[in-house]
Amino acid sequence: MALHIEKQAGACGALVTGLDLTTPVSDEVLAALHAALLEHLVIAIRGQAAMTPEDQIAFAARWGTIEPHPYVEPIEGYPEMIRIYDPNPLTETWHTDFSYNPTPPALSFLLARVIPAYGGDTMFSSSYRVFESLGPGLQECLRGLRAYHEGTPLARSKGLSPEDVQCVHPVVNRHPETGRELVNVNACYVKHLDGWTAEESAPLLTYLYEQWGRPEFTYRHHWQVGDLLIWDNRAVQHRAVGDTDGQPRDLHRVTVSLPTV
């Protein structure tokens, strides 16, 4: 296979061509993809429309342990996989997946099945760049803070207790593979800083949330049917762009944790 990787933006994002994921790739190709992901944080493997759900699940499982969504209904027959529909207020907000878990998933795999004629792009922003852009005094302050994350009200309707979908995480994380520091709060799931009220937390959190929207930190992916996007959930936040005018949009997602080394 003639694997080709082309950088798409300054902060994150790369396009991968020359692969057919309907058959298992070699360990060498998998290692090259893993290295590209650590470098670019988001990789889009183009031309995978022929992949079946079984292919997508099998490919994702080679990266680590698959983590089904704790409360969103899966695709029938595929408990490992959920369907992403039209953009909505939750998915249009910068976030990381499952940040309310004690150990959120490391990677997400999203395959485009139905794409509108226009609109519905997905944007990514580097949490490394957010941290590196802050002044040294604020960086040091954030290293001493923790934030309270909680899942959406849908969790309770599925029978989960609040304790099942809430966790306190450091505001600054160090990536387990690269060692780089990054900011770890998001507007979807963080309710307040640990030990602070929501009102006390709001000014600082609002300032931090605004940083992910800085254009120089972002990559905007314009979907094609058959694109398989893999992103590092530990190092980027993502959001959908809600400009589809209600056109059909159907993407299939699998998330995984990486094995402990």
| Residue ranges of domains in the chain, CATH in brackets | 4-125+215-257 (3.60.130.10), 129-211 (no CATH)
Catalytic-role residue among 40, 55, 69, 97 = 97
Tell whether the model's pLDDT for residue 76 goes beyond 80.
yes
Quickly state the pLDDT bin for 260 (edges 50, 70, 90).
Answer: low
In degrees and rounded to multiples of 5, residue 156 shows phi and psi of -65, -35
Quickly state the pLDDT bin for 162 (edges 50, 70, 90).
Answer: confident
Instruction: Compute the distance between CA of residue 238 and CA of residue 44 in angstroms, rounded to an integer.
Output: 14
Instruction: Compute the distance between CA of residue 193 and CA of residue 202 in angstroms, rounded to an integer.
Output: 9
Average of pLDDT values for 130-152? 97
Spatial CB neighbours of 217, under 8 Å, sequence gap ≥ 6: 11, 12, 125, 126, 129, 130, 133, 211
Quickly state the pLDDT bin for 152 (edges 50, 70, 90).
Answer: confident
Catalytic-role residue among 40, 129, 221, 238 = 238
- Residue 1 is predicted with a pLDDT of 59
- Work out the mean pLDDT of the chain and round it to a whole number: 95
Cβ neighbour number for residue 75 with a 10 Å cutoff: 13
Cβ neighbour number for residue 144 with a 10 Å cutoff: 9
Where is pLDDT greater, at 16 or 160? 16
Comparing 69-78, 147-156, 242-251, the range with the smallest average pLDDT is: 147-156
Average of pLDDT values for 189-216? 98
Contact 96, 169 (CB under 8 A): no
Residue carrying structure tokens 């979908």: 165
Average of pLDDT values for 127-137? 98
The model's pTM: 0.95
Catalytic-role residue among 40, 95, 149, 169 = 95
Average of pLDDT values for 150-154? 86
Quickly state the pLDDT bin for 258 (edges 50, 70, 90).
Answer: confident
Quickly state the pLDDT bin for 261 (edges 50, 70, 90).
Answer: very low
Buried b vs exposed e over 186-225: b needs ≥16 C-beta within 10 Å? bbbbbebbeebeeeebeebbeebbebbeeeebbbebebee
97 tagged catalytic: yes
